[in-house]
């Protein structure tokens, strides 16, 4: 095979794949622009572009409130996960501690825990301590759910920092916490950014946990609200499509802004792990 043929066949296949990925999104986007309640077909150019469906989804269907709930959960989960994982990763990655290996493996073991296996007791237990039907319960559960990866990620980061940096500061009489704050944290910014966007995405996309822990549809996060909405408005394709686009957009924008962190974080996280 000549290299020319090979190169072009490569592009051809890449393009087919790209089209396969884009078409479903394009289809739902165009459907969301059609007049509400109209009969829509697959990929069709709207005769008349209209944002009415978005207006309806935003106010009548309550997506404004759902997005606010999602944001609330994300803003609760991300900082907590970052702080806790930084502290633990710092100790596990730089200090000489008996049994630190066993502790680390204990965290790692949690990477494969499916939501299904923790959610039933969480529902009953959170309810019994007054956190049933509450976003706070969701926040607590998600922090724990993402902890294995977060600790793994920060430990990997701190292991790779030059030992001399820490030793020099310790010799100067700095305490271990000062070393972390003054010396290591400024260097950890890229790793923390990546972790933040990954945790934010997982939190934003979480569905089953929210569906079970929160029964009131209006108090749910955006994807869980959308999952309920689809049952109510299965036939009004334009409004349903607008709701779907509204749920996709915030995470898509975050992804496009931080795509380097996202992809490298995913690949590194997967391969180093």
Partner 1 sequence: MSALVSGAQQTRSTKTSPPSQPSGHRARRRALRGYLYILPALAFYVVFAILPALHTVYLSLFDWDGITLATWNGLANYREVITDPALRGAVAHALVLVMFFSWIPIVLGLVMAGLLARYRQRGMTLFRVLFFVPQIVPPVAVGITWRWVYGPEGVVNQALRLVGLDGITRTWLGDLNFALVAVGIVGTWALSGLCMVLFLSGVQKIDGSLYEAVRLDGAGPVREFLAVTLPALRGEIAVAMTVTTVAALASFDIVYVTTNGGPADRTTVPGLLVYRLAFTQGEVGLAAALATALAAMILVIVFAISRIARSDQ
What value, to the nearest 5°, has the Cα angle with vertex 256 and ends 77 and 73? 15
Place of tokens 């980061």: 157
3-class secondary structure per residue, 96-164: CCCCHHHHHHHHHHHHHCCCHHHHHHHHHHHHHCCCCCCHHHHHHHHHHHHHHHHHHHHHHHHHCCCHH
Among 9, 75, 136, 218, binds partner 1 (CB under 8 A): 9
Residue among 194, 210, 201 nearest 252 (CA): 201
* Residue of 3, 48, 128, 129 that binds partner 1 (CB under 8 A): 3
Query: How far is it, in rounded angstroms, from Cα 119 to Cα 209?
Result: 6
Window 53-112: residues binding partner 1 (CB under 8 A): 84-85, 87-88, 90-92, 95-98, 100-101, 103-105, 107-112
User: Using the rule CB under 8 A, is 252 a contact of partner 1?
Assistant: yes
Using CB under 8 A as the binding rule, the residues of this chain from 127 to 146 that contact partner 1 are 140-141, 143-145
Q: Between residue 166 and residue 185, which ones bind partner 1 under the rule CB under 8 A?
A: 176
- Residue 16 is a binding residue for partner 1 (CB under 8 A): no
> Residue 184 in 3-state DSSP?
helix
Looking at residues 183 to 242 of the shown chain, list those that interact with partner 1 (rule: CB under 8 A).
201, 204-205, 207-208, 211-212, 222-224, 226-227, 230, 237, 240-241
d(CA 77, CA 136): 10
Question: Is residue 23 at the binding interface for partner 1, with CB under 8 A as the rule?
Answer: yes
Residue linked to tokens 């990997």: 156
User: Which of 50/118 has CB closer to partner 1?
Assistant: 118
Q: Supply the minimum distance, in Å, between the C-beta of residue 171 and partner 1.
A: 15
Task: Report the residue number, 22 or 64, with the smaller CB distance to partner 1.
Answer: 22
């Amino acid at each position: 095979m000549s290299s020319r043929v090979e190169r072009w066949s490569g592009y051809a296949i890449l393009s087919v794949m790209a089209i396969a990925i884009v078409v479903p999104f394009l289809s739902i986007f165009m459907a969301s622009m059609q007049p509400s309640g109209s009969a829509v077909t697959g990929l069709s150019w709207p005769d008349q572009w209209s944002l009415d469906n978005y207006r309806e989804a935003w106010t009548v269907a309550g997506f404004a409130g759902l997005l606010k709930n999602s944001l609330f959960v994300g803003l609760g989960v991300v900082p907590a996960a970052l702080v806790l994982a930084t502290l633990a990763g710092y100790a596990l990655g730089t200090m000489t501690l008996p049994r630190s290996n066993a502790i680390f493996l204990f965290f790692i073991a949690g990477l494969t825990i499916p939501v299904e296996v923790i959610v039933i007791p969480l529902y009953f237990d959170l309810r019994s301590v007054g956190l049933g039907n509450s976003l706070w319960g969701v926040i607590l559960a998600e922090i724990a759910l993402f902890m294995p990866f977060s600790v793994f990620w920060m430990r990997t980061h701190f292991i790779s920092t030059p030992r001399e940096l820490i030793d020099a500061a310790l010799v100067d009489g700095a305490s271990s916490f000062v070393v972390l704050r003054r010396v290591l944290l400024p260097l950890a910014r890229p790793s923390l950014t990546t972790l933040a966007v990954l945790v934010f995405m997982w939190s934003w996309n979480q569905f089953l946990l929210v569906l079970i822990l929160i029964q009131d549809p209006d108090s749910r996060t955006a994807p869980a609200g959308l999952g309920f909405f689809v049952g109510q408005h299965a036939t009004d394709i334009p409004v349903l499509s607008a709701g779907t686009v509204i749920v996709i957009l915030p995470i898509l924008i975050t992804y496009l802004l931080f795509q380097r962190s996202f992809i490298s974080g995913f690949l590194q996280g997967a391969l180093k792990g």
